[in-house]
Structures are given as C-alpha cells and as structure tokens.
A and B are shown apart, each in its own frame.
Chain A
Amino acid sequence: MTTLETTETGIRLTDEQKKRRSQRNWAIGLALGALVALFYAVTIVKLGPGILNRPL
C-alpha cells in the first residue's frame, strides 16, 4: 500500500485531557459570569441612578 490515508490531523486529546478541558471551560464560564455581575454592581455603585441621567 503506497497511498497516504490520513484521515485525521492536528492534536488528539486523551480522554483525561478532554475531561480537564471541560472542567476548565466550566470554571472560565463561571468566572466570566461572576465578572459580569461584578462589573454591573460596580457600575451601579459608581454611577448610581445618574447612569440614565446624562446629556445626550
């Protein structure tokens, strides 16, 4: 057989790596969600009701 039968390229992750990646994705997702809540709270505290009361 002389033909090249490459069916897959790139990096092949092990099952353990896939599991860890999933865990990290969840952690990053939760961290981003917490940041959204944090920035919302900081914006309200720093600008207060004045956030909607500004010249256009």
Chain B
Amino acid sequence: MSLIDRTDIGVSEWAGGNASPADYFALLKPRVMSLVVFTALAGVIMAPGQLHPVLAFVSILCIAVGAGASGALNMWYDADIDRLMTRTATRPIPAGKVTPDEALAFGMALSFGSVLVLGIVAGWFAAAFLAFTIFFYVVVYTMWLKRSTPQNIVIGGAAGAFPPMIGWACVTGGVSVESCLMFALIFIWTPPHFWSLALLKSEDYARAGVPMLPNVAGPDATRAQILAYSLPTVIVGLAPGLIGMAGLVYGVVAALFGLGFLYHAWRVYRVRDGIEARKAAGRMFGFSILYLFTLFAVLVAEHLVLGMMG
C-alpha cells in the first residue's frame, strides 16, 4: 500500500493525555505539602488575633496549593535529572505519565490561582509572601542554586521555612519576632535534615550531576557540617520558650528532643564506615522529621491549652 492510499493520513497520535488525576496530585509533592500545611496552620494558630475558621481553612488551602504548584514547577524543570535518580525516577514526568508542558501549565495555573484567592481571602501581604515563596523555590532554588552550589539547600531551605510566616501574615497582615523564629527553626533545621539524606543518596546526586555537599566536599566534611548546624538548630528550637512565646512544657520537650537531635548528629559524625554509618544517617534523617513535627505540635498544643485555660 502506498502512502496515498491510506485513509488515516491526517491522523496522528498524541504523547500527552495519559495522566490520571492521581498523577497530577503526585506533581504537588503531597508529603512536602503535608509539612507545609502543618507549619502554616501553626503560624495561623500562634498568631495574635482572630481569623474566621472558613477564612483560615481557605488560607491554609491556598498555601498548600501554592506549595504544591511550586512542587509541580520544580518537577517540570528538573525532569532531566529526576529520571537519573532512583528516588525521583518514578515521578510523573520521568515515568511518562505527564508531559513537561502539562506539568508547566498545571503548576502555573495553580500558582496564580492560589496567590489570587489568598489575596482576596486573607490580604495581599500574605498573597505577595506566597508568590515570593513560589518564586524563591522555583527560580532561586530549582533553577539557580540547586545545580550550581553545594549551599543549595542552605539558602533554598528558606522556601520551605516561609509557610508559618505566611500563615501568621494571613491573621496579622505582617511579620513579627515570633513568626521569624518559626521561620528560623525550619531554616536552620533544613541543612542537617537534608544532608543526612544526601549522605544516603550521594550516588544518585553524583549521577545527576547535582553538587550536593557529600559529592563536592566529601562525606566527612558533610558529617562535620551536620554536627555544626545541629547545635544552632537546637538553640533556635529552645528559643520560643526563652522569649515567652511558649511555656514550660514546650521548653522541656524542646530540650529533650534537642538532646536527641545532637545525639543523632554526633552518631553521624563519629560512625563513618560501613552499614552502621548509613544507619546513623538514616536515623538522623528520620529523627530530624520527628523533631520538627514534635516541636511545632507541642508549640501549638500548649498555646491552645493555655488559651482555653485563660
């Protein structure tokens, strides 16, 4: 049969359109989003003043969707390196379920939508803050820092630390020492948390050419940096109790978990070879998540209980 005999000559197939709603949801990095929701909610609850529960719910939803949108834009830009790393090779774009164009459109639409709705619901300062956070994560971290410096997650960690400040701004329309302290805790916690993971996944990062600290400075220098960042993390963790933002219960929990944080960082620093070294890094990574979650949970719970007791 010659080409001219074909009856379907004007028909072509399309590489897109293969994604289910679950694939789009995966673009939002739901696990990261859950931490964003949690810390943003902490910001809303800790802030002085009142926000109607419906407006608080919509504000948190906007912050969550904005964070998810920046996750989608991150996956759009990083698709080339994501397919080289075992941790990220199953993400929707490298897996062939979502095309890069679809992810870009999805991320941009949600970014603008979340910022606009937050502006209407909670004010334009909070909305501008959310817009800046998305910009910081996508442009400053993903496009610029991630592939150019081992300090990528030190500076880029700010993007993950802004949500409680945005939550606070939704209520007060501004910033304060307290909201900056919540930012500082996540910001300074990020390097030891992420470098513990990087120690475990250094081969992945090397394959993708991402200059994470273990690949550039070596695992031992990374271990020293984890320990060095752990001390200020614990001090900042204690600070809410010291400035009167939190009470005795928080102070005790922050001190105990701070000791645990330092212990795990010390283990990472001391145990450098074999399977035990990997276990130590894995435990540090796991404990760091528990540490941050517990501190924010106790901060909020104590605030609510003390508030109910008048």
State the A residues within 8 Å of B (CB): 1-2, 4-14, 16-17, 20-21, 23-24, 26-27, 38, 41-42, 45-46
Chain B binding surface SS class:
mixed
Residues of B within 8 A of A (CB): 4-5, 7-14, 17-21, 24, 52, 54-55, 58, 61, 120-121
Give complex CA distance A10, B10 in Å: 6
In the A-B complex, the 7 residue pairs with the smallest Cβ-Cβ separation, listed nearest first, are A9-B10, A27-B21, A17-B17, A11-B14, A45-B54, A12-B11, A5-B7
Given contacts A23-B21, A27-B24, A45-B52, 20 further A-B contacts (CB under 8 A): A1-B4, A6-B8, A6-B10, A8-B7, A9-B11, A10-B10, A10-B11, A11-B14, A12-B11, A13-B17, A16-B18, A20-B17, A20-B18, A21-B17, A24-B24, A27-B21, A38-B58, A42-B54, A42-B121, A45-B54
Contact yes or no, B14 A13, CB < 8 A: yes
**A46 contact set on B, CB distance < 8 A:** 55, 121
Residues in A with CB closer than 8 Å to B8 are: 6-8, 12
Beta-carbon contact of A14 and B11 below 8 Å:
no
Contact of A8 among B5, B11, B14, B52 (CB under 8 A): B11
CA of A4 to CA of B121, assembled, Å: 59
Beyond A23-B20, A42-B58, A45-B52, whether A4 also contacts B12 by CB under 8 A is no
A-B contact count (CB 8 A): 65
Q: Write the chain A residue with the least CB distance to B8.
A: A8
CA distance A1 to B120 in the complex (A): 65
Q: Determine how close the nearest CB of chain A comes to the CB of B304; give it in whole angstroms.
A: 22
For A24, give its contact among B14, B19, B120 (CB under 8 Å).
Answer: B19
Instruction: State the CA gap A9–B61 with chains docked (Å).
Output: 42
Measured between beta carbons, the chain A residues less than 8 angstroms from B4 are 1-2, 4
Query: Please, how many angstroms separate the alpha-carbon atoms of A8 and B5 in the complex?
Result: 14
Bound state CA distance, A7 and B57, in angstroms?
53
| Contact of A11 with B55 in the complex, beta carbons under 8 Å | no
Please give the distance in Å from B7's CB to the nearest CB on chain A.
5
Nearest chain-A residue to B1 (Cβ)? A1
Instruction: Decide if B18 touches A1 in the complex (CB within 8 Å).
Output: no
A20-B102 Cα distance, complex, nearest whole Å: 14
Which residues on the A side are within 8 Å of B55 (C-beta)?
Answer: 42, 45-46
Q: What are 22 A-B pairs with beta-carbon distances under 8 A?
A: A2-B4, A4-B9, A5-B7, A6-B10, A7-B7, A8-B7, A10-B12, A11-B13, A12-B11, A12-B12, A12-B13, A17-B18, A20-B19, A21-B17, A26-B21, A27-B21, A27-B24, A38-B58, A41-B54, A42-B120, A45-B52, A46-B55
Chain A contacts of B52 at CB under 8 A?
A: 45
Instruction: Give the distance to chain A from B196, nearest Cβ to Cβ, in Å.
Output: 36
CA distance A14 to B120 in the complex (A): 42
Contact B21 A11 (CB under 8 A): no
